[in-house]
Amino acid sequence: MKINMKVNKPSPECISAEISEIDVSLVNKEQVKTIKQLVYEHKLVVFRNQSINVEEYIEFARKIGEPQVYPQDNYHHPDYPEIFVSSNVPKDGKKFGVKGTGRYWHTDCAFLQEPLPFTMLYPQVLPNSIRETYYIDMQKVYKNLPANLKNYIDGKYLRHEGKMRYKVQEWDIDRALIDIMNEIEKRFPAVFHPSVITHPVTNKEILYMSEGFTTGIVDTDYETSQKALQELFEFIELEEHIHTHVWKNGDILLWDNRTLNHMASTVAKGEKSVSYRIGIYDELPFYVSPKNVEQQSTAVQKPQVKNQNSKLLTLAK
Ligand SMILES: [Fe+2]
């Protein structure tokens, strides 16, 4: 029984702390506190050499916070709704989860009023060749953001929506695209978050946007907004900003979506890949009100967010 843990911290300005010599199914309260602090401080935590079953995995997530049940149930594990399944392998002869998830820059659930604070990922089957997940530290990006790019977004709200990432399902056959899109929009209307959020624990300022889900800048005309977003994404996704995690058997990753954009690598043709994700609410607001925009928080002031929505709907036209 291993109840101690060894922590390797990254060098300054880098992300990803590594925890070894621990069995995550046995962590105690004190260790959970340390783990959460490491996530806030280093954004990404890697647990090595884990071998736990699904119940133990969910139990570990529960010690960290409240597991999310993802709003689209076709992603759920049939026996454990907290498990979001990314898989290209059928289970018991049936489709299991969704394949090819997250292969674009994003933060999980940015398109919701209350985005997902933590994501934990535990691959069950790794492809034979290689599987990687890429990360960008958006706190660091904001610190280094050139003034001309900062001017586009400072003090502004950004629009986020997930509709273009919707994966067409079996039951969508024979439906018109416009009907599918209208239904998604109704279920997941666009949301607005400050372009620069302040972390509730570290108080650091973070650029909160991603190519996957950010679709507009509030109070900015359409052409300027699209041009600005393109320039911003080009800067954000520079190779020098990208941290690569190469997966090994037994890895579990836990990261803070407030500060990290991420993207999954593609799986080589014919290879199998199965991952179990658990989203976790850490009982803190996703962000606290930034200094340079009017007082507003996703968690507590929804009516004001609604006002922002109505003000900005012209942007979409
Ligand atoms: Fe993701």
Summarize pLDDT for 156-189 with one digit per residue, the tens: 999 999 988 988 888 899 999 999 999 999 999 9
Is-contact 195 157, C-beta < 8 A? yes
Ligand 1 centroid to residue 244 C-alpha, Å: 14
pLDDT-based confidence at 290, cuts 50/70/90? low
Which percentage of the chain shows pLDDT scores above 90?
Answer: 84
Q: What does the block give as tokens for 19?
A: 């925890």
Ligand 1 centroid to residue 1 C-alpha, Å: 32
Considering only CA atoms, which of 6, 8, 300, 310 is closest in space to residue 159?
A: 310
Q: For 74-120, how does the pLDDT look when each residue is reduced to its tens digit (9 = 90+)? A: 999 999 999 999 999 999 999 999 999 999 999 999 999 999 999 99
Q: Which amino acid type is present at position 105? A: W
Q: What is the rounded distance in angstroms from the CA atom of residue 124 to the CA atom of residue 174?
A: 34
Ligand 1 ion: residues within 5 Å (CB): 102, 108
Residue 296 has pLDDT above 90, yes or no: no
Ligand 1 centroid to residue 102 C-alpha, Å: 5
